[in-house]
């Protein structure tokens, strides 16, 4: 038995795809610059600002990962790019607004530039026909046959709802980090002597880690068309909001509710909408099998 690898021919990418890759690289650079600029102008650099800035910086790596998906023509690049840009706007926006007073002009200008770049990324991902034709490849898998072991692209079983299922999966994957970031910010209050926060922060951290495992388990069956996985993810989404938003209000105040609850609320809304669209498309496909092969 021989082991072979699927050869990927060198194909010159269309100009729109190359432009999207350059735009993503520019967005990553601007994201870092705006965060450094905000850190420079921030009147106070406490634990909360440090944690939030560190999390925002990690998003720059997300744009680099998205460039790889785009260059390889992965279908998952579209939902990944959507949730990444939306939550980036929230993550950087909450750093620009100070607790008191007005935001500095350089920070506002940088945030405006970053928002424009993120909107341009979403427009290219979802409105450019050339990019849409390029982002069609699915994740590969090992295939055992008479020729040996090969790594081949695996098409989804239900292509009609694959796009919305991928969007829901990516959105729900953000629940855990979006819960852990404010929980880590709340640890700063414990260091300031508010020991009464210890049980609540411990529950918050435990819930954030538990959600990651539940979402990972459900996402595996979600892409395989299991209806119960959609139902469980809806319940998880509601539970996450019921846990995270009250804790943000109680431990971090109205400021923390806006800064940390807002991004989670946006991700939850996108996930619920994607699950609803996927469920509606699945019901239509069951009622009319001829619709199963059409895009959602």
> Given this model, what pLDDT does residue 2 score?
43
Tokens of 159: 């292509």
| Domains in the chain, number | 2
> Given this model, what pLDDT does residue 204 score?
93
- Whether residue 266 is contained in a domain is answered as yes
Q: Which residue, among 73, 60, 76, has the nearest Cα to 25 in the 3D structure?
A: 60
CA distance 276 to 280: 6
> Given this model, what pLDDT does residue 147 score?
64
Same domain, 173 and 217: yes
Q: What is the largest CA-CA distance in the chain?
A: 70
> Given this model, what pLDDT does residue 98 score?
65
CA distance 205 to 91: 20
Same domain, 127 and 198: no
Tokens of 84: 């990444």
DSSP-derived letter for residue 46 is -
Structural domain that includes position 93: 11-139
CA distance 88 to 28: 10
Global pTM reads 0.72
Q: Which residue, among 206, 148, 132, has the nearest Cα to 176 in the 3D structure?
A: 206
Same domain, 230 and 274: yes
Same domain, 32 and 104: yes
Beta bridge partners of 76: none
- Whether residue 293 is contained in a domain is answered as no
Q: Last residue of some domain: 139, 168, 198?
A: 139
- Whether residue 1 is contained in a domain is answered as no
Q: Last residue of some domain: 139, 172, 197?
A: 139
Asked if 179 and 212 touch (Cβ cutoff 8 Å), the reply is: no
- Whether residue 296 is contained in a domain is answered as no
> Given this model, what pLDDT does residue 209 score?
94
The rounded average pLDDT for each run of 10 residues, N- to C-terminus, in the chain (296 residues) is: 44 82 92 79 65 76 90 86 86 69 76 91 92 76 58 50 78 91 84 78 93 92 86 95 93 83 89 88 64 49
> Given this model, what pLDDT does residue 118 score?
92
pLDDT over 90 percentage in the chain: 27
> Given this model, what pLDDT does residue 205 score?
93
> Given this model, what pLDDT does residue 148 score?
60
- Whether residue 24 is contained in a domain is answered as yes
């Amino acid at each position: 038995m021989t082991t072979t690898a699927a050869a990927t021919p060198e194909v010159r990418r269309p100009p729109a795809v190359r432009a999207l890759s350059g735009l993503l690289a520019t967005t990553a650079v601007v994201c870092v610059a705006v965060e450094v600029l905000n850190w420079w102008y921030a009147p106070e650099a406490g634990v909360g600002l440090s944690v939030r800035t560190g999390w925002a910086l990690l998003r720059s790596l997300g744009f680099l990962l998205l460039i790889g998906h785009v260059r390889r023509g992965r279908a998952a690049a579209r939902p990944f790019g959507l949730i990444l840009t939306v939550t980036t706007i929230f993550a950087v926006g909450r750093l620009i607004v100070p607790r008191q007073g007005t935001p500095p002009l350089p920070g506002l200008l940088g945030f405006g530039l970053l928002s424009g770049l993120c909107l341009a990324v979403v427009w290219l991902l979802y409105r450019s026909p050339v990019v849409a034709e390029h982002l069609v490849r699915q994740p590969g898998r090992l295939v055992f046959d008479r020729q040996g072991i090969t790594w081949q692209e695996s098409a989804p079983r239900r292509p009609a709802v694959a796009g919305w299922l991928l969007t829901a999966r990516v959105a729900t994957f953000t629940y855990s980090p979006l819960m852990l970031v404010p929980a880590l910010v709340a640890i700063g209050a414990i260091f300031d002597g508010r020991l009464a926060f210890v049980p609540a922060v411990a529950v918050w951290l435990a819930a954030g880690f538990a959600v990651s495992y539940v979402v990972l388990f459900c996402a595996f069956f979600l892409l395989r068309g299991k209806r119960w996985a959609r139902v469980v993810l809806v319940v998880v989404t509601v539970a996450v909001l019921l846990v995270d938003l009250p804790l943000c209000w109680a431990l971090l105040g109205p400021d923390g509710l806006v800064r940390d609850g807002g991004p989670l609320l946006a991700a939850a809304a996108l996930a619920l909408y994607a699950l609803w669209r996927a469920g509606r498309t699945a019901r239509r496909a069951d009622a009319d099998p001829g619709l199963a092969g059409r895009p959602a």
